[in-house]
Chains A and B, each alone.
Chain A
Amino acid sequence: MVSENDVAYVADLAHLELTAEERARMLKDLNSILGYIDRLNQLDTSHVEPMAQVASRYGERQDEGAGFAPSLRADEPLPCMSREQALRNAPATDGTFFKVPKVIER
């Protein structure tokens, strides 16, 4: 069971503040969803490898042929976005850097 403290801890990890109302709702929803997720424990997976990427399964059983593995492009420099373009959507800049509130509190 997720507790109120867990919600506060996870919200902090996720950089969310959440109102008291949102926290109460989150507690209820997370417990309901995690309760449903617990059914995964009905399965014995001690000898099953985890699957992080689809590419690991290409050609696993079917005669799909070789060459399905993702292939990397040559490591060559290509033109990239200009500074002006990269800064265009920023909420605050000094024209060279992104500007943010102070990072270190005194």
Chain B
Amino acid sequence: MKPDPVNINLLTVDTTRTAVLERETTATELVDAFYGKIEAEDPAIGAYLTLCKERAYRQAAHIDALADKGDDLPPLAGVPVAIKDVFTTRDVRTTAGSKILADFVAPYDATVVTRLENAGAIILGKTNCDEFAMGSSNENSGFYPVRNPRDHSRVPGGSSGGSAAAVAAGTAVAALGSDTGGSIRQPAAFCGVVGLMPTYGRVSRYGLIAFASSLDHPGPFGKSVRDAALILQAIAGRDPLDSTTADVPVPNYRQYIGQPVTGIKVGVPREYFDEGLDPEVRAAVELGIQELKTAGAEIVPISLPHTAYAIPTYYVVATAEASSNLARYDGVRYGLRSPDSKTLGEMYRRTRDAGFGAEVKRRIMLGTYVLSAGYYDAYYLKAQRVRTLLARDFEEAFTKVDVIVTPTAPTPAFKLGEKVDDPLAMYLADIFTVTADLAGIPGISIPSGQSKEGLPIGMQILGRHFDEATVLRAAHVAEHALAGKALP
């Protein structure tokens, strides 16, 4: 007798693999079920831009063949994942959420994609995002906005909003995103899932379409801290194809899941809890801090004095790097070309005018301005010096504490259209996340209760360079202590 069908809404990384290993289902049946759910439910959310069915069924058949032989299965065997459309996928359309790459079919796989498939994961498709990962709401997608699965009138956050929404909606078990100023952690907070930004240099950027190269961090989304850890395990480690990946041993993250936090020092930076903070966000994060204390951690008030300078620093450094990275979209080698131009220069300008959206143009202009003759020292070099001060703030703090706890975002998810006309207001949605990108330290967002309106709230835990293990350990303890708890 065949056992009851697997409930795909409840699947985790481990239970998916076990279900395939123990023949409760097959990888092919799982892929059928997930595509059925995507076709039924995703049109209302818009998390996916492209489905790669041929590739998914091919990988599923491979996993099923291993299971048929009775072989032990790789760690992510049969796990259906979604990939933010900023990672290249061989022979599959890769758009970066931009019309300028609307028909681009990548000739090679990003390292993280190769590693996920080598670990047995099944790539279902490519997820929607803000164009070139520039945005905090997904409203800058060149195709269509993503809606928050918890409330369709609200944004899922950005820029990895499609990946966060897919995991929240259960149209993928886990997902990959990229975080340049908060683009994994903020949408995780808005959608009520876990989002992990690893240390800069921990995960390869080969095949990640560049936004700001010194700030771009690939990382996982999962329904739980454990799932995020297991995905990280598969993608982490040095890559000969990315010289900025560090030659640092990758620990076995699974062994840190479930370890107590007794004696761990948790820093609480006063600058992240000022008077303007949304009261429900404050209450949610303070509850999480209290739970860590109850679990045996020591709570230490700290200061990160340059926090107020993080957003202006970020918008100089990130846009400067972006203006340089996006110079390659010129209509010559790939992507859109505007027809009927008489000269090369005209072709460049018309192509870029037609292919880029308003926010991307704004950032290219700002980045070009701060790098231009006469302004380089005043803006770009100045911001790089302040970046050092922001990094030092964390270095100083981590001599006293092991992790730092803050809100992930200043508010729960906002409404579609609420901030689109005010770029500065949109930028401030990243106020608690950009600091870790600038310093290159790891950070995670975990759900920490919800607002009266039922919207998820995220708590952020930051750690030392390459110490994802302690971040995951604290996050797992907080996640379990907070499960089902209502706000006071």
Are chains A and B native binding partners rather than an unrelated pairing?
yes
Binding site for B on A (CB under 8 A): 2, 6-7, 9-11, 13-19, 22, 25-26, 29-30, 32-34, 36-43, 45, 48-55, 57-62, 64, 67-73, 81, 85-86, 88-92, 98, 100-103, 105
**From A42, A49, A68, A102, residue with most partner B Cβ within 10 Å:** A68
Q: Is the CB of B201 within 8 A of A70?
A: yes
Known: A6-B369, A15-B327. A70 touches B245 (CB 8 A): yes
Q: Specify which chain B residues have a CB less than 8 angstroms from the CB of A30 in the assembled complex.
A: 362, 365-366, 369
Query: What is the number of contacts between chain A and chain B, taking CB atoms within 8 Å?
Result: 209
The CA-CA distance from A61 to B387 in the complex, in Å, is 16
Q: Is the CB of A54 within 8 A of B389?
A: no
Binding site for A on B (CB under 8 A): 103-105, 107-108, 200-201, 214, 238, 240, 243-248, 306, 308-309, 311-313, 315-316, 323, 327, 330-337, 341-350, 352-353, 356, 358, 361-362, 364-366, 368-369, 372, 379, 381-389, 391-392, 395-396, 398-399, 423-424, 427, 439-440, 464-466
Q: Specify which chain B residues have a CB less than 8 angstroms from the CB of A64 in the assembled complex.
A: 464-466
In addition to A14-B352, A70-B247, 8 A-B residue pairs with Cβ atoms within 8 Å of each other are A10-B368, A15-B352, A16-B365, A57-B391, A58-B246, A58-B465, A69-B246, A91-B335
The CA-CA distance from A6 to B370 in the complex, in Å, is 12
Q: Is the CB of A61 within 8 A of B396?
A: yes
The CA-CA distance from A24 to B350 in the complex, in Å, is 19
Q: Specify which chain A residues have a CB less than 8 angstroms from the CB of B244 in the assembled complex.
A: 53-55, 70
Q: Specify which chain B residues have a CB less than 8 angstroms from the CB of A48 in the assembled complex.
A: 385-386, 388-389
Q: Is the CB of B349 within 8 A of A10?
A: no
Known: A13-B368, A15-B348. A50 touches B323 (CB 8 A): no
The CA-CA distance from A70 to B244 in the complex, in Å, is 5
With both beta carbons as reference points, the residue of chain A lying nearest to B353 in the complex is identified as A17
**Whole-angstrom distance from the CB of B335 to the nearest CB of chain A?**
7
Q: Is the CB of B399 within 8 A of A61?
A: yes
Q: Specify which chain B residues have a CB less than 8 angstroms from the CB of A68 in the assembled complex.
A: 201, 246-248, 465-466
Q: Is the CB of B369 within 8 A of A73?
A: no
Q: Is the CB of B353 within 8 A of A54?
A: no
Q: Specify which chain B residues have a CB less than 8 angstroms from the CB of A81 in the assembled complex.
A: 107-108
A-B contact pairs, 28 of them (CB 8 A): A2-B369, A10-B369, A15-B330, A15-B345, A15-B352, A16-B352, A16-B361, A33-B366, A34-B379, A40-B316, A42-B309, A43-B386, A54-B201, A55-B246, A58-B465, A58-B466, A61-B395, A61-B396, A61-B399, A68-B201, A70-B245, A70-B246, A89-B103, A89-B104, A100-B332, A100-B347, A101-B341, A103-B343
Q: Specify which chain B residues have a CB less than 8 angstroms from the CB of A73 in the assembled complex.
A: 240, 243
Q: Specify which chain A residues have a CB less than 8 angstroms from the CB of B104 in the assembled complex.
A: 89
**Whole-angstrom distance from the CB of B133 to the nearest CB of chain A?**
18
The CA-CA distance from A87 to B268 in the complex, in Å, is 53
**From B309, B331, B365, B398, residue with most partner A Cβ within 10 Å:** B365
**Whole-angstrom distance from the CB of A18 to the nearest CB of chain B?**
7
Q: Specify which chain B residues have a CB less than 8 angstroms from the CB of A22 in the assembled complex.
A: 358, 361
Q: Is the CB of A45 within 8 A of B382?
A: yes
**Whole-angstrom distance from the CB of B468 to the nearest CB of chain A?**
13
